[in-house]
């Protein structure tokens, strides 16, 4: 069977129809910030493979660590067993995450980390003899994953999961904060959140937020002041704060974790994506001693979850190595460099008639169009320009690997500008 036909006829790609006419490009290899296609063309990556490949592809240090680990073991069940990679990763995460987060549950994807966080919150309140606290408050335009509980706290109307809204558990949604990052939060945003908490607190287990950056739901950067007040309101109304740092963790916004912009710590935090430097799938849900102890002392006395590939040794090794690589560099100055270049370069787009907004935070640059893009045409135009940029809806954005140099980032930015000017 012809390889091209096999993909077209039998492989379902993300958020795509089997009959889709969108181009699919075969990658032969990857190195640094470059993808080499099977036809020989090289593309500069602007997406870090959906935001996770922060050190670039085929990194010598990452490769060596994984080669060493695979000779020992690639996987072992985590029930009744443990291993050095998991222990080392746990030490590192406890050290670098906000102080109250000392208990860690490993899973194998960001969506599952969110599911675990929600189960954790519900089981916590159940152990405190408050089983009526089982609902969640989330933001409009939120996105927390593709599994069922995660879908239920993603925007049910404008989000990508609206088809399933009638079969998902009904959660409570508040308006997306209108206050932009860098601004003080306007009173209306806070009043809206407080009134919702006041009305529903007796039935709410947790408020779940993507801190500072709402990712796949619209790439919106909101006020750190909102996040700070959200934490205070959760304490006031006896509701847990769950932060989904899956897209924002490990430096993407200029802080190691986005909650640091507001100088707050959540009760539960989800991490994933860049956790392993993009090498392997791994996620984690972190929580406090109070929550873990309460669950232990309630019924059934254990936390009811256990993925087959929990704390996979290869993935944990990748994570430890990636974190050490990041922290061994002046990563904050590097993110500031990327932010400055994105800000200067993308500002040219705002003059275009088809552009609604331009916004930059850390190593994230967003151009919001007035109308949804023609995915087929714009993808082909970007590949023709020698870059891999994959927009969605009205959003064309860049989230490059942190190792990208000035010249390659300049090519990404100018390619984006040139393509937009012709579409």
Task: Enter the DSSP assignment of 175.
Answer: P
The answer for 75, left when phi > 0, alpha when psi is -120 to 50, beta otherwise, is beta
**Cβ–Cβ under 8 Å, residues 354 and 369:** yes
Q: Containing H/E element for 324?
A: helix 313-327
Contacts 24+ apart (CB under 8 A), 405-409: 406/337, 406/341, 408/33, 408/44, 409/338, 409/341, 409/342, 409/345
Output the six-digit token pair for 41: 């063309």
3-state secondary structure 92-116: HHHHHCCCCCCEEEEECCHHHHHHH
CA distance 265 to 31: 36
Task: Name the residues annotated as catalytic.
Answer: 15, 143, 244, 273
The full DSSP string for 298-320 is SSSSS-----TTTT-HHHHHHHH
Residue appearing with tokens 């922060």 = 54
CA distance 142 to 379: 25
Residue appearing with tokens 């096999």 = 6
Helix (H, G, I), strand (E, B) or coil at 413: helix
Q: Where would I find the beta strands (DSSP E) of 352-409?
A: 355-361, 364-369, 387-388, 395-398
């Amino acid at each position: 069977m012809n390889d091209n036909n096999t993909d077209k006829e039998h492989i379902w790609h993300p958020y795509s129809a089997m009959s889709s006419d969108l181009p699919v490009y075969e990658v032969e290899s990857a190195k640094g910030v470059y993808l080499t296609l099977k036809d020989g063309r090289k593309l500069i990556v602007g997406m870090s493979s959906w935001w996770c490949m922060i050190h670039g592809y085929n990194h010598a240090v990452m490769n060596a660590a994984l080669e060493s680990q695979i000779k020992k073991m690639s996987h072992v069940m985590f029930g009744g067993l443990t291993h050095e990679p998991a222990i080392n990763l746990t030490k590192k995460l406890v050290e670098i995450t906000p102080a109250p987060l000392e208990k860690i549950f490993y899973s194998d994807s960001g969506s599952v980390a969110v599911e675990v966080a929600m189960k954790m919150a519900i089981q916590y309140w159940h152990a405190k003899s408050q089983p009526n606290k089982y609902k969640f408050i989330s933001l409009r335009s939120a996105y927390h994953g593709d599994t069922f509980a995660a879908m239920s706290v993603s925007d049910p109307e404008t989000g990508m999961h609206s088809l399933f809204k009638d079969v998902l558990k009904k959660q409570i949604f508040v308006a997306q904060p209108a206050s932009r990052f860098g601004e003080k939060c306007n009173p209306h945003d806070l009043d809206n959140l407080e009134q919702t908490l006041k009305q529903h607190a007796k039935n709410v287990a947790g408020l779940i937020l993507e801190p500072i950056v709402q990712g796949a739901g619209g790439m919106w950067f909101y006020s750190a002041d909102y996040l700070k007040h959200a934490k205070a309101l959760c304490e006031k109304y006896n509701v847990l704060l769950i932060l989904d740092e899956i897209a924002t963790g490990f430096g993407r916004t200029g802080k190691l974790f986005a909650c640091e912009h507001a100088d707050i710590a959540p009760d539960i935090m989800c991490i994933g994506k860049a956790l392993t430097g993009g090498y392997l799938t791994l996620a984690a849900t972190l929580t406090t001693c109070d929550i873990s102890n309460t669950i232990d002392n309630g019924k059934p006395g254990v936390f009811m979850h256990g993925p087959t590939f929990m704390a996979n040794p290869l993935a944990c090794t990748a994570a430890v190595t990636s974190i050490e690589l990041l922290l061994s560099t002046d990563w904050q100055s590097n993110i500031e460099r990327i932010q400055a270049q994105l800000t200067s370069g993308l500002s040219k787009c705002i003059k275009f008639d088809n552009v609604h907004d331009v916004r930059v935070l850390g190593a994230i640059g967003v151009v919001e169009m007035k109308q949804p893009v023609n995915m087929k045409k714009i993808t082909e135009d970007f590949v023709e320009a020698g870059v891999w940029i994959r927009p969605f809806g009205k959003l064309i954005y860049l989230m490059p690997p942190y190792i990208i140099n000035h010249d390659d980032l300049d090519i990404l930015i100018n390619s984006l500008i040139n393509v937009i000017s012709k579409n």
